[in-house]
């Protein structure tokens, strides 16, 4: 049984809950989103496997997941990047936000920590998590999100629409990539 870390509005751990139950009851919990760029400054995005319990078949950021109870978020992001995409990268947190939305019979209520990094490694995606993947420029992504908003996850649209400046600042500060 997979569990998530329940948090208060300030992100302090207040308990843990079975993941499905937390999403059914809309309990606030900790999550993270990873954005991996290649040396061409293109973002690696993926389409969630259709059979996922929510948002299946939608495009989203490189990796999105939850830390396990007792796991530091810095360890969780590295673990899930390797498990889901077969990649390693130096990751930096660039922000966090809280959101709550209804997705079918579930309620996503998360404090989502945004991590960013670079890698030119060839992804080796986990087929249980990822249906397909591609690299895309932020400009092209924003255009596609505007024209086809229902093809993207709720949280990914928040990240791209609200953290674009932070993303550009980070990727443009990396002259060695």
Residues designated catalytic: 64, 110
DSSP tag of 39: T
38 token code pair: 């290649």
How many CB atoms are located within 10 Å of the residue 173 CB? Answer: 9
Question: What span, in angstroms and rounded, lies between the C-alpha atoms of 156 and 33?
Answer: 8
CB 130 within 8 A of CB 84: yes
Residue 6 backbone dihedrals phi, psi, to 5 degrees: -80, 140
91 token code pair: 């990751």
Residue 157, burial from CB neighbour count under 10 angstroms (0-12, 13-18, 19+): middle
The 3-state DSSP class for residue 91 equals coil
DSSP tag of 62: S
The 3-state DSSP class for residue 67 equals coil
């Amino acid at each position: 049984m997979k569990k998530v870390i329940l948090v208060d509005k300030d992100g302090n751990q207040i308990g843990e809950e079975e993941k499905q139950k937390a999403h059914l009851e809309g309990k606030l919990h900790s999550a993270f989103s990873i954005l991996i760029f290649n040396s061409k400054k293109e973002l690696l995005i993926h389409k969630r496997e259709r059979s996922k319990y929510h948002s299946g078949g939608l495009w989203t950021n490189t990796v999105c997941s939850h830390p396990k109870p007792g796991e530091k978020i810095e360890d969780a992001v590295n673990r899930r990047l390797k498990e889901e995409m077969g990649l390693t990268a130096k990751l930096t947190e660039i922000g966090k936000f809280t959101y709550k939305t209804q997705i079918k019979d579930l309620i996503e209520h998360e404090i989502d920590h945004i991590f960013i990094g670079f890698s030119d490694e060839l992804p080796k995606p986990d087929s249980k998590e990822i249906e397909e993947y591609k690299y895309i420029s932020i400009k092209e992504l924003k255009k596609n999100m505007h024209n086809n908003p229902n093809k993207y996850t709720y949280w990914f649209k928040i990240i791209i629409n609200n953290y674009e400046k932070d993303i550009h600042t980070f990727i443009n500060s990396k002259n060695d990539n």
